[in-house]
Amino acid sequence: MVDGIWGQAWVKPLEKGDYLFLSGTANVEYLGQFYRKRRTIETCFQSFKERGFDLEKTHLKASSRLKKLVALVSIAYSISIGMGIYIHRKVQKIKTKKHGYKTKSFTRKGIDTIREVFPLSNCWRNG
């Protein structure tokens, strides 16, 4: 009990003698699942904010326009991650580093592939 709230703790041994400690108010058998889902959401927000979509750089103030922008970025994110997963599974596996993480995320691979197929320089050429 912490500050009058009961919580659960979950500990998982990792490689090289490290441990992953999770705590929360959910049942202990669900903490790992919640962590994985939260990690996915955090990765999505990182992509929205700084890793590809730069949503924080917008100067929009009207909520209706912000809603439209977030909707469009959500669609673009979905297409990018889907493209990255497809490329990884069907075309060329994304390399994995020694620590187990991939050299590029599925989202980054998708964005890079889309940029290769549709380079911006073609959009700005005059007739």
Instruction: Tell me the range of 3-7, 68-72, 104-108 where mean pLDDT is highest.
Output: 68-72
Cβ neighbours of residue 51 under 8 Å, at least 6 residues apart?
105, 107, 108
The average pLDDT across 19-35 equals 81
**Radius of gyration of the chain, Cα coordinates, nearest whole angstrom:** 20
Residue with more model confidence, 92 or 127:
92
For 23: left if phi > 0, alpha if psi spans -120 to 50, otherwise beta; the answer is: beta
Percent above pLDDT 70 for the chain = 94
Residue with more model confidence, 89 or 38:
89
> Per-domain residue ranges for the chain?
1-49, 57-127
pLDDT tens track for 77-94: 899 989 999 999 988 898
Phi, psi of 113 (to 5 degrees): -65, -45
pLDDT at 127: 45
